[in-house]
Amino acid sequence: MHDVSVVIPVRNGEDHVVEAVESALAQGDAVIEVIVVDDGSSDRTVERVAALADTRIRLVTDRPAGRAGVSAVRNYGFAGSRGEWVLFLDADDRLREGAVARLIEAANDPRVAAVYGDYERIDGEGATVGRRRLLRHRAKPSGDIVESLLAGNFIVNGGIMLIRAANFREIGGFDESLRYCEDWHAWCRLATTGEMRFRQGLGVLDYRVHSSSTMMAKTLSMDDYLPALDAIFSDPRIVRAVPAERRAGLRAKAHAHLNAYLIGQSLRAGRYGAALSGLAATLARQPRALPRALLVSAAALAGL
């Protein structure tokens, strides 16, 4: 039996948090607890979660003062978890039926640090948006994926991944000093502890994209991502896992990945001017990165 803890950080998430919690509870007996950590909500988030009648729900409202940000909230929830495995679910997303059971099927090996699947995008009302279903049978890296992850964060959302709790403790959780890409940094560290296996064709998560999400509400720049990039490529654990002669090339790929991601997200958010400016800057400053940026832009416009 694989016991799973689902950790849900939330702040002012009254519109969707109940759906997130219920999607975790619906995964069956493997989920032994759903830990909802409130980060000082001023709406009815706490009231709505408290009204749910299931003994597996643990509502945490006493986050330590001075520990700010979603990483601190996730770490705090994880610290009190009891499961052999953990899944970090955002409060506005939802797990798909049977997702945890399908992930567990690939977890019966002590070499496995994590098992992950794929996601679909939904809007604020829960309707599918885009055409990611066309990618459902594509392959992603599986096994020893340290170098693949260093080249770019293809995990995208931690809600698609079941993580062995002992391995997550080994890496010390999320780096609370990082504001963006803290998950990517954590996944790179996690990949040094064991295999990360991909379940091809498995849709795990409905990833909600709406007007108040970070992706849609704020225009980010490479400067926002550089602290995480620096942290990844200076992390002793990661550095030891990658030959010195490969690090510079992987960092260049990672930079190109982030640049393309920024342009693609601008297109998805309807910020076409920012996307065009990004493509122009790429052509002028990093022409070798332009093909990737154009490919991601085309995918974004196609709804992938």
CATH code, 158: 3.90.550.10
pLDDT mean across residues, the chain: 92
pLDDT band at 63 (very low <50, low <70, confident <90, very high): confident
Same domain, 66 and 177: yes
297 and 267 Cβ atoms separated by less than 8 Å: yes
Whether 18 and 62 map to the same domain: the answer is yes
User: When comparing pLDDT for 2 and 20, which is higher?
Assistant: 20
Look at residue 215 and tell me whether its pLDDT is greater than 80.
no
Is there a single domain that holds both residue 204 and residue 290?
A: no
What's CA 76's distance to the chain center, in Å? Answer: 17
Q: What local confidence, expressed as pLDDT, does residue 302 receive?
A: 82
What's 207's DSSP letter? Answer: E
Show which of 197, 214, 231 is a domain's final residue. Answer: 214
> Same domain for 256 and 269?
yes
Do 227 and 174 have their domain in common? no
Per-residue confidence band for 213, with pLDDT thresholds at 50, 70 and 90: low
Report whether pLDDT(66) > 80.
no
pLDDT confidence of 214, banded at 50, 70, 90?
low
Is 102:199 a contact under the CB 8 Å cutoff? Answer: yes
Could you tell me the pTM of the whole model?
Answer: 0.93
- Whether 33 and 132 map to the same domain: the answer is yes
pLDDT at 125 over 70: yes
- Reply yes or no on whether the pLDDT at 179 is more than 80: yes
Q: Are 78 and 203 found together in one domain?
A: yes
pLDDT at 71: 93
Q: Count of CB atoms within 10 A of residue 128's CB?
A: 12
Query: Into how many domains does the chain fold?
Result: 2
For residues 117 and 248, membership in a common domain is answered with no
Distances from the Cα of 55 to the Cαs of 27, 49, 166, 209, 254, in angstroms? 15, 12, 25, 30, 43
Structure tokens at 255: 């930079």
Asked if residue 177 and residue 250 are part of one domain, the reply reads: no
CB 37 within 8 A of CB 60: yes
Domain housing 119? 4-214
Examine the pLDDT at 216 and tell me if it is beyond 60: no
Element (H, E) at 197: strand 195-208
Report phi then psi at 110, rounded to 5: -65, -15
Q: Are residues 127 and 224 in the same domain?
A: no
Question: What confidence score (pLDDT) does residue 65 get?
Answer: 67
Evaluate if residue 14 carries a pLDDT over 70. yes
Contact 142, 196 (CB under 8 A): yes
pLDDT tens per residue across span 149-175: 999 999 989 999 999 999 999 999 999
**Based on the number of CB atoms within 10 Å of its own CB, is 45 exposed (0-12), middle (13-18) or buried (19 or more)?**
buried
